[in-house]
Structure 1
Amino acid sequence: MTIPGSARAPVRPHKPKILVFVGGYLPGYRFGGPLQSIANLVDRLGDEFDFRIVTADRDLGSTAPYPDIVPQQWHPVGQAQVLYLAPAERRLAVISRILRETPHHALYLNSFFNPHFSTLPLVARRMGRSPLTARVILAPRGEFAPGALQIKQSKKRVFLAISRLVALHRNLIWQASTQREADDIRRATGPGNIVCATDLPRQPAPLLARRPRAAGEPLRIVFLSRISPMKNLLYALEALAEVKAPVVFTIHGPREDEGYWQDCAAVIARMPSNIEIVEGGPVEPADVVPALAQHDLFFLPTQGENYGHVIGEALEAGLRILISDRTPWRGLAAEDVGDDLPLGARSAFVQAIEQAAARRDRIEAAERSYAFLAKAFDVADTLEANRMLLASALPRDVG
């Protein structure tokens, strides 16, 4: 097999070159937040930086590569150049050659625990198989949140110990989306150079027209995320089982963990008659907001989000929001757009659903949610923080 990287990325001499490794990228959509974060970064800063992205050649859970992918070639995707790697190509020799032959001023990794798209690039640098002049930014994307660390806890503890022992993650620039994530990074890895730069949101579309829920019609609740322990669908189902109001609950998202889905299916099988469950499956990015807009309430009792793009999309769709207090989206009740509640108080989630079922101000609520999205995060400040994050990794004579 010929090693990818021999086909060099197109050279663009005037913009700083950022080499990005990320587990999944466009045209995929099942990888969730990290994919969306990088896509939004490229969309908003692609005029200023030359992004070359190395990623998987297929979507999460798929056995087939994306159509029209040519092995060993860089593909233009929006304002980035993308190199797609098949499973057999995700190995040290391949990664080393990509690092060595792809001109770049900074290396941007989007996971701490991903073995192929984070660990291997760092190992290649550690072994001297790639240039050491480019600084490394590592965005753990919420992987150090307490809820995230509890999943496969033993394996993660072992990897963290090995990382410290061999100094694999020494002298990095850590990206935190919030101060809470910065604290999580320090607890997991110790003192370090941590820069706060919130994930960039996408440009919201105009608020969609909507049909008010008719009197007597069930409350329409939607869950849209990966079906995995981190997103906590099982908790949502267990809370719904205690609700007395009539509800139609639609589940959208790929089954990332089949064993976890079986646990969810067992709860669905004994759901009371007032709760109807609809399995909607995955939704392509262009259809997310229209799909969400068919509902009244977005329910995501997540165990932790460093940003939560889908929460922003639910607000863009005009939905009321019911989420855990483990995301940056806080103060929802004060703005009358939803609730952010502690997971230890399941009865509070049940009560919030009952109250949502009793509401009838869907048009006004949609306008409040959409307006809250516009003021929740200062896009100009967020854009500048991301620009400065990338600039901080560049050599002094570049930029």
Structure 2
Amino acid sequence: MSKENIQLLENESGAKNPDKPVILVFVGNYLPGYKAGGIIRNIANTIDHLSDGFDFRVITKDRDLGDTEPYGNIRFNEWQEVGNAKVYYLSPEVASLKGIKTLLTHTPHDIVLLNSFFDPLTIKTLFIRRFSGIGFKPVIVAPFGEFAWASLGQKYLKKYLFIKAAKLLGLYKNVIWRVSSEFEKNDLIKEMNIKSGTIHITGDLPIKNIPDFLSQEPTLSGSDPHDLRIVFLSRISREKNLDYALKVLSKVETNILFDIYGPAENESYWKECQSLIKQLPNNIKVNYLGNATSDQVLRIFSQYDLFLFPTGGEAYGNVIAECLTVGTPVLISTETPWRDLNNDGLGWDVDLEKMDTFVNIIQEFSSLSSAQHSEKRRVVKENIQRRLFDPFVLSSNIQLFENQLPEFKK
């Protein structure tokens, strides 16, 4: 990076605000991207809720997950305002050890927040921290469910070898870990063999401003009013279990409209799913509707009767929270922190070993009248507020950062 660019970097990043600690956030993909899923929404929601007390500066790649071309509506390699944060979009040549070291050195900050255990930005930052000799502020690492077996089991040998190498090199020595639940905490301890005292559990913050259109009754143009409208919205990858959802629907006898949204990031797995779709009975109509951008997700969920998401594992499940926010009940696996949903009138969480239970719930749910579906939506919208806006969730996120700052330590 040239001297001119370094000077520009220092000028644009701005002087450190004495009233707001600066959180320097590294994440592989950020807004306007959407293909990385919940990690983007989690960071954006956190920034929206905490920006009054903290100054967030996000360093990310200049393109969406899996894309070969950069975004067309941003400036590269310079700071710019995006929502309530300043964001620096790295071009490939700047996303090097040298480029990241320059950013770390010339961007005032109090805490470094690394999102994802395996992302190259996390690895490079920790490598610089371990071997460059430059002084480092406290580091928080948020794995986002990467140690759940449904995720870790994909390309396991490669991940296993990296974990072993990272331990030997001490890349993660003296970091603070941020997880979303006891489930994720236990997975992390099991794989990394770390002390529980270094792990901070925070709830994931919900979307801060819910659009006005969500007060309207759902409509889906072109759909048969007698069909139960079910949606699957997620990355199409093996750990998200779209194939399981299709196998469930193959046993359902009522009329179903099943719409699928999400990037088909695993081509061979998507071909398996397409084969299952071709084998479905005539009462199951399936549409693949492509990607859904972040600003489309809530409106999409509002148009369906049910979200079918038998995921293999979620650290939190932002997509579940977004769906419930609009009043659409969910039918999910027990491999998420979202449990006892039926007791709160929010839907159902079912063990993946009990496929027939998934089938029976859909059969029974499809028999409800329009009035009963409307009442179900009202109950979901009302009851989800208690879970999403639990004061502990906000306070735990604030404490995650305050606990790393000298002025808050006893």
The Cα shift of 1:387 comes to 0.6
Q: Partner of 1:23 in structure 2?
A: 28
Structure 2 match to 1:152: 155
Moved more, 137-146 or 82-91: 82-91
Alignment RMSD, CA only? 2.1
Unaligned runs of 5+ in 1: none
1:120 is aligned to 2:124: yes
Deviations 1:41-88 (A, max 9, x none): 111111111111100111123222122433321011112111101233
Matched, 1:299 2:303: no
Whole-Å separation in 2 of the counterparts to 1:375 and 1:180:
21
Which residue, out of 170, 190, 205, partners 1:187? Answer: 190
Distance 1:118 1:144, change over 3 A: same
Q: Structure 1 residues 298 and 13 mapped into 2: Cα distance closer, same or farther (>3 Å)?
A: same
Corresponding residue to 1:372 among 377, 383, 396? 383
CA distance in 1, matches of 2:134, 2:87: 19
Aligned match of 1:218: 227
Q: Give runs of aligned pairs for residues 162-241 of structure 1, distance below 5 A.
A: 162-192=165-195, 193-203=198-208, 204-205=210-211, 207-210=214-217, 217-241=226-250
Q: Pick from 46, 49, 55: which aligns with 2:54?
A: 49
Aligned match of 1:87? 92
Query: Residues of 2 paired with 1:167 and 1:380: CA distance?
Result: 36
Using a 3 Å threshold, how does the CA distance of structure 1 residues 51 and 212 change in structure 2: closer, same or farther? closer
Equivalent position to 2:17, from 13, 23, 26:
13
Mapped contact 1:205–1:316 kept (Cα < 8 A)? no
Superposed displacement of residue 397, structure 1: 7.9
- Within the alignment, does 1:76 sit opposite 2:81 as a pair? yes
Larger mean CA deviation between 167-176 and 282-291 belongs to: 282-291
Specify whether residues 298 and 68 from structure 1 end up closer, same or farther in structure 2 by C-alpha distance, changes over 3 A only: closer
Letter in 2 for 1:83: Y
Relative to structure 1, is the Cα distance of residues 352 and 16 closer, same or farther in structure 2, using a 3 angstrom cutoff?
same
> How big is the shift at 1:251?
0.3
The TM-score, its normalising length taken from structure 1, stands at 0.94
Bigger drift between 11-20 and 389-398 goes to 389-398
> Is the CA contact (8 Å cut-off) linking 1:247 and 1:275 kept in structure 2?
yes
- Specify whether residues 216 and 17 from structure 1 end up closer, same or farther in structure 2 by C-alpha distance, changes over 3 A only: closer
Q: CA deviation at 1:372?
A: 2.1
Question: Deviation of residue 190 (structure 1)?
Answer: 1.3
Match of 2:113 in 1: 108
Q: Out of 345, 348, 354, which is 2:354 matched to?
A: 345
| Matched residue SS, 2:353 | coil
> Cα distance, 1:364 vs. partner?
0.3
- Which structure shows the higher helix fraction? 2
Indicate the residue corresponding to 2:333 in structure 1.
Answer: 324
Give the superposition deviation at 1:335.
2.5
Report the AA paired with residue 291 of structure 1: I
Mapped to 1, the partners of 2:106 and 2:218 lie a distance apart of 55
Q: Secondary structure at the match of 1:89?
A: coil
Task: Note the C-alpha offset of 1:215.
Answer: 9.5
8 Å CA contact 1:54–1:85 kept in 2: the answer is yes
Where 1:250 maps in the other structure, the secondary structure is strand
* DSSP-derived class of the 1:151 partner: coil
Determine the C-alpha separation between the residues in 2 that align with 1:369 and 1:58.
36
- 1:90 Cα deviation after fit: 2.1
1:287-309 Cα offsets, whole Å, 9 max, x none, are 21221111111011111111111
Aligned pair in 2 of structure 1 residues 328, 230: CA closer, same or farther (>3 Å)? same
Task: Give the whole-Å Cα distance in 2 for the aligned partners of 1:268 and 1:215.
Answer: 20
Amino acid at match of 1:238: K
Q: Structure 2 vs 1, CA of residues 212 and 95 (structure 1 numbering), >3 Å: closer, same or farther? A: closer
Do the aligned partners of residues 27 and 130 (structure 1) sit closer, same or farther apart at CA in structure 2, a change above 3 Å counting? Answer: farther
Distance in 1, matches of 2:270 and 2:255, equals 24
2:406 paired with 1:395: yes
Tell me the secondary structure at the aligned position of residue 288 of structure 1: helix
What is the CA-CA distance between 1:277 and the residue it aligns to?
0.4
TM-score normalised over the length of structure 2: 0.92
Aligned ranges 1:52-63 → 2 under 5 Å? 52-63=57-68
Q: 2:307 aligns to what SS in structure 1?
A: strand
- Aligned sequence identity (%): 38
Q: Is 1:310 paired with 2:313?
A: no
| Residue equivalent to 1:384 | 395
How far apart in 1 are the matches of 2:332 and 2:392?
A: 25
- Once the two structures are superposed, residues 86-112 of structure 1 have per-residue CA deviations (whole angstroms, 9 ceiling, x without a partner) of 233322111111111111111000111
